[in-house]
Amino acid sequence: MEFKEAKNKFVQTWGALGSQWGINKTMAQIHALLMVSNEAVSMEDIMEELQISRGNASMNLRALMDWGIVYKEYKAGERREFFTAEKDLDELASKISRERSKREIKPALKILKEVSTIEAKDSAEEKHFVDQTTKLYDFVLKADNMLDKMTEFNENWLGKLVLKIMK
Amino acid sequence: MEFKEAKNKFVQTWGALGSQWGINKTMAQIHALLMVSNEAVSMEDIMEELQISRGNASMNLRALMDWGIVYKEYKAGERREFFTAEKDLDELASKISRERSKREIKPALKILKEVSTIEAKDSAEEKHFVDQTTKLYDFVLKADNMLDKMTEFNENWLGKLVLKIMK
DNA sequence: TTAAACTTTCAAAAATAAATGAAAGTTTAA
DNA sequence: TTAAACTTTCATTTATTTTTGAAAGTTTAA
């Protein structure tokens, strides 16, 4: 396999993976492209390489910057803007999980809290509902915390220990 | 908030959360409904409660069973089939992560392996590509293993210890 | 200033994903 | 058997999401 083919395959795969996880395909593809580029890329080049429109490129770059995983870069003497991706994978994972937590998990937890604290009269049905949603609240909270803290441990002794034992 | 309202809110929220994570809304809603039901539910009742068609109910129940998180149940003297959800949350998480790993992560890893092992000539560009995709491969592999092993630790001493320290 | 070079916005179009429902298939009781 | 009771399938329709592209907006060099 030659370089160009490999690069394309990577971008396509990353895009497909993204859309299976609720991230739009183009956004994931742009991110993939920037990840494997050794230097900042202009919007024009992104459009060209992914065969997408200006508007699409612009909106998804904006979204990636909102997620904090793509940065604008200015080159001396250049009018255009260039873009780079966060390339440190621990940092990337940390930012993604922080954003998803903020945007999706936290609001869901709020609702779970609400519905799990209704007054559960006496029917078995209602009791089960309260019981199950309470468990779910605790579980999601725990999972969210773990994800949140996970990256802090990535390169340190405890993380390594845990990984070792987990093997 | 009264029971019915709370139940509905829960089902809607779970559905929305699902679709943000690449699981179709109805599938997530059916799962939510079964999760908080203290007894097995017939297809008829699911259709009624979620206001969906027979075909939709059938296909999504099938998908949920393929994921191994919903079971068919037969009641003595009843012709119809009834459905229940996996209610043990650790088990649920374990099954979901196993399935996603099998369906999405593993194939992606295969591609990552492929593209990261091209011969990297001498250009900085190609070297960077190989370097970055190799790192990504290692990272995804590690993350996949962690998820895989995580649930094994959920209720045991080490898991608790790690969680405690993580706080 | 101003006009060229560039980016963003957003209504409309296109693409994709999900849902419907009727026909086909299956199971079971009689 | 067979017919009633139920489930599954899948071509078509509907809904949702994404993309386009032209107009509006912004920035900067002269």
Who wins on pLDDT, B113 or B79? B113
Please report which confidence band the pLDDT of residue B4 belongs to, taking 50, 70 and 90 as the band edges.
very high
- pLDDT tens per residue across span B104-113: 999 999 999 9
Strand C close residues, chain A 102-131, CB < 7 angstroms: none
Radius of gyration from C-alpha coordinates of chain B:
21
Residuewise pLDDT in 10s, chain A (167 residues): 899 999 999 999 999 999 999 999 999 999 999 999 999 999 999 999 999 999 999 999 999 999 999 999 998 888 899 999 999 999 999 999 999 999 999 999 999 999 999 997 889 999 999 999 999 999 999 888 887 676 665 555 555 555 655 55
Give the sign of the dihedral formed by CA B21, CA B30, CA A141, CA A157: negative
Tell me the chain B residues in contact with residue A6 when contact means C-beta distances shorter than 8 Å.
114-115, 118, 129, 133
Dist. CA B69–CA A18, nearest whole Å: 23
Residue A36 has phi, psi (to 5 degrees) of -100, 5
What does the pLDDT read at residue A133? 97
Dist. CA B158–CA B146, nearest whole Å: 14
Overall average pLDDT of the B132-142 stretch: 95
Q: Which helix (H) or strand (E) holds A132?
A: helix A124-150
Cβ contact A60 with chain D strand, < 7 A = yes
Place of tokens 């024009």: A44
Dist. CA A85–CA A72, nearest whole Å: 9
Q: Which helix (H) or strand (E) holds A71?
A: strand A70-74
Nucleotide nearest to B62 (CA to C1'): D8
Distance of CA B31 to the CA centre of its chain: 11
What does the pLDDT read at residue A85? 96
Instruction: Convert B71-82 to b/e letters by CB count within 10 Å (16 or more is b).
Output: eeeeeeeeeeeb
Q: Is A60:A112 a contact under the CB 8 Å cutoff?
A: no
What does the pLDDT read at residue A26? 98
Cβ contact A59 with chain D strand, < 7 A = yes
* Chain pair A-B, CB pairs under 8 angstroms: 141
